[in-house]
Amino acid sequence: MLTSRSKGKEYLLDLFHKPLLTLSLSLTVQSSIKYVLTQGDSLLIASLASLADQGAYALSSNYGGLIARMLFQPIEEASRNLFAKLCTTPETTSKQTDSTTTKDERPRLPAQGVKDASSTLQTILHFYGLISLLAFSLGPSIAPLLLSLVAGKTWTSTGAGDVLGAYTYYIPLLAINGVTEAFVAAVATNKELYAQSVWMGFFFAGFAGSAYLFLRVLEMGAKGLVWSNCVNMALRIVFNVSFVRRFFARNAVDFDLIGALPSAGSVAVAAVVPFFTSATKGYADRLGYGVFGELAALGSVGVVLVTAM
């Protein structure tokens, strides 16, 4: 049974458990910062982009976001839980209830669990790398065709198909950021999470600067919104990967980032595909096979690309 003195050390005003209150405040602050930054993105887009560009971007993000929500988000949620389980110990859980221990203290992590986390993260990143090659090589050609089937040729004639094609470059970055950010959220201390929140402000500044460059200076329209989001996501990935490498180095576990990337042969094959699809664009349609013929031709190229990988 807790004495009144020991209870006073563990509880604030004899009501609030101090370790739990600290963690709750930390998560609240981080969520608030992310919410403000998200709304800031919306306000920035509304102030810099025209209504037509906002409409084309909204269409692309809604359709493109379906892939992220259906395929990548479940992987992100499952990996976050897995990383948290691998990189913690029963002793760590019990210590968190002690008033003298906070999340900022670094307990000894299970060596095998950290190794498994490294291997799992490398495998996911390698899988995402292969998907990225497919998206980069075939996405800009397939996206306008799919949009014409789903939304009709009226939208494709406005240039929304090209915007959706550019959005295919953003989706892999969104996936890579999702899994690396899940790892950071699973293993980072309170102090490191606060640092991440501060860096999010710098990332927003990078997004704002690139959006002004692409929209106002280069006048790229809705595509500029996509590219500015790519810049923002790339900055976040650099931060996450840097944290990942420091984490595994601190725990004396190898993390082979180069090994997680696709092979040079796969990259070379994927680099040739856009030239081939550009040279044969519209060939199936001219033969009378229409949009479905074009999709079938691109699908066969995709099968060859996957086989070559």
pLDDT digits (tens, 9 = 90+) for 246-289: 999 888 888 888 888 888 888 888 888 877 777 677 666 666 66
User: Domain limits at 130?
Assistant: 23-95+102-262
Angle at 92 between CA 91 and CA 96, to 5 degrees: 115
**271 within some domain:** no
Nearest one of 283, 39, 59 to 167, comparing CA atoms: 59
**Where is pLDDT greater, at 97 or 176?**
176
**14 within some domain:** no
Confidence of residue 94 (pLDDT cuts 50, 70, 90): very low
- φ and ψ at residue 18, rounded to 5 degrees: -60, -50
Number of domains in the chain: 1
Lookup: tokens for 257: 């980032």
**308 within some domain:** no
Q: Is residue 12 within a helix (H) or strand (E), and if so which, with residue range?
A: strand 11-12
pTM as predicted: 0.78
Whole-angstrom distance, CA of residue 305 vs CA of residue 146: 20
**294 within some domain:** no
**Where is pLDDT greater, at 148 or 237?**
237
Residue in the structure block whose two tokens are 């986390």 = 117
**300 within some domain:** no
Structure-derived torsion over alpha carbons of residues 126, 128, 129, 132, reported in degrees to the nearest 10: 170
Lookup: tokens for 34: 């992310």
Computed over every residue of the chain, the mean pLDDT equals: 77
Whole-angstrom distance, CA of residue 10 vs CA of residue 265: 59
**240 within some domain:** yes
pLDDT, position 156: 66
**248 within some domain:** yes
**247 within some domain:** yes
Residue 4 confidence (pLDDT) above 60: no
Q: Report how far Cα 26 is from the mean position of its chain's Cα atoms.
A: 22
